[in-house]
């Protein structure tokens, strides 16, 4: 058994199912996403079913992993066990949320829709990549002032 090959095949399959699911769900459409976030206006609640359905099946996967000693194609699990809610988590999530609300695109749909070749989503992805690099190259090297245990050295072991 070549588990390295199966690991790569599972990665590709997971990505493909993710991209197809996003396409089917309506999450690729920033206008739909912004209508879902517009709870005080012309609210379209349909995308709540995307998160609901996804968390449900994902939770079945979690239950299954708890019955396994190790993943099918790897020797250990690489899941985060950090439980500390620090300022970096909250400020980062808030910054992400503002950007998500501004345009209606988050990283998964933005990357998946690259294959449609639309200039606006390509521009968004270029800016997103730049934003990631700014954080990881410049900011992540500074130790967290709150000292919450998510310092720069820990970021590579944070698989989220």
Partner 1 sequence: MNEYGNALSGGLLIGLSAAILMVANGRVAGISGIAGRLLQGVQASTGALFILGLMAGPLLFRLVFGAWPVVTVTSSWPLLVAGGLLVGFGSRMGSGCTSGHGVVGLARLSRRSIAAVATFMAAAIVTVLVMGLLG
- Of the residues 46, 143, 152, 153, which one makes contact with partner 1 according to CB under 8 A: 46
**Which residues within the stretch 72-131 sit at the binding site for partner 1 (CB under 8 A)?**
72-74, 76-80, 82-85, 88-108, 110-116, 118, 120-121, 123-131
143 binds partner 1 (CB under 8 A): no
CA–CA distance, 43 with 36 (Å, rounded to integer): 6
Integer angstrom CA distances of residue 144 from 11, 17, 132:
32, 36, 17
Question: Could you give the angle at which helices 87-103 and 30-37 cross, rounded to 10 degrees?
Answer: 120
The correct pick among 1, 2, 61, 142 for binding partner 1 (CB under 8 A) is 61
Does residue 49 interact with partner 1 by CB under 8 A?
A: yes
CA pair distance 147, 139, nearest whole angstrom: 15
Give the shortest CB-15-to-partner 1 separation in angstroms: 2
Q: How many whole angstroms separate alpha carbon 110 and alpha carbon 98?
A: 16
User: Closer CB to partner 1, residue 1 or residue 159?
Assistant: 159
The reply to whether 149 sits near partner 1 by the rule CB under 8 A is no
Give the separation between CA 29 and CA 38, rounded to whole angstroms: 14
The minimum distance between CB 153 and partner 1, in angstroms, equals 13
- Residue 160 interacts with partner 1 (CB under 8 A)? yes
């Amino acid at each position: 058994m070549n588990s390295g090959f199966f690991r790569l095949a599972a990665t590709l399959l997971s990505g493909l199912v993710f991209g197809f699911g996003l396409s089917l769900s309506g999450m690729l459409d920033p206008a739909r996403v912004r209508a879902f976030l517009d709870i005080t206006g012309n609210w379209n609640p349909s995308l709540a079913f995307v998160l609901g359905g996804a968390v449900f099946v994902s939770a079945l996967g979690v239950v299954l992993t708890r019955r396994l000693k190790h993943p099918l194609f790897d020797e250990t699990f690489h899941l985060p066990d950090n439980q500390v809610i620090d300022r970096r988590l909250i400020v980062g999530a808030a910054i992400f949320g503002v950007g998500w609300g501004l345009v209606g695109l988050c990283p998964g749909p933005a990357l998946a829709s690259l294959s449609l070749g639309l200039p606006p989503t390509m521009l968004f992805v270029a800016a997103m990549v730049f934003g990631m690099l700014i954080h990881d190259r410049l900011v992540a090297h500074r130790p967290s002032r709150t000292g919450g245990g998510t310092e720069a050295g820990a970021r590579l072991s944070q698989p989220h």
